[in-house]
Amino acid sequence: MWGILLSRYVRIANEILMHLRSTRRVRSEVSLYDPIGVDKEGNEIVLLDILGTEADVVAETVENKCENERLAKQMDLLTKRERMVLNLRFGIPNGARKTQRDIAKMLGISRSYVSRIEKKAVERIGKRLNNDEKV
């Protein structure tokens, strides 16, 4: 069950957290993609080059898991309606994604209101995640 939830949160993470990847340099953590030197030919070497391709898969898995945990914590801080809209839109936890129109019918509100709720929730999560990263 958790595996399904995590994979669903990855979908939301891709939507919400794309800007976080661009701010990676601001983190105080060491990244496998940070340059650690240059080779004899002057090419930049990153830690991942030394560790090999299996490390890439492991690093991506760990990074996704950490980001999913951060996202899950932020989802818990949303209002019940915001959580419901995002869960239905992104198919959490069962993978059945709904359109804004379907959600509007279910909740008895307009499609544009569903869109505003979704946009507001995504922006709130994005801001919080961005602020967490700066700490």
Residue 79 backbone zone (phi > 0: left; psi -120 to 50: alpha; other: beta): beta
Per the confidence metrics, is the pTM higher than 0.85?
no
Question: What is residue 83's predicted lDDT score, i.e. its pLDDT?
Answer: 92
Structural domain span for residue 66: 2-134
Q: Which pLDDT score is estimated for 109?
A: 96
Task: Quote the pLDDT of residue 111.
Answer: 95
Count of structural domains within the chain:
1
**pLDDT (mean) for 31-49:** 79
State the CATH number of the domain containing residue 104: 1.10.10.10
Q: Summarize pLDDT for 64-102 with one digit per residue, the tens.
A: 888 888 888 888 899 999 999 999 998 887 888 999 999
pLDDT in tens, 95-133: 889 999 999 999 999 999 999 999 999 999 988 888 866
Name the E strands within 7-135: 35-38, 44-46
Is 37 in a helix, a strand, or coil?
Answer: strand
The string of pLDDT tens digits covering residues 47-70 is 777 766 665 677 778 888 888 888
Question: Of 90, 76, 94, 77, whose CA–CA distance to 118 is shortest?
Answer: 90
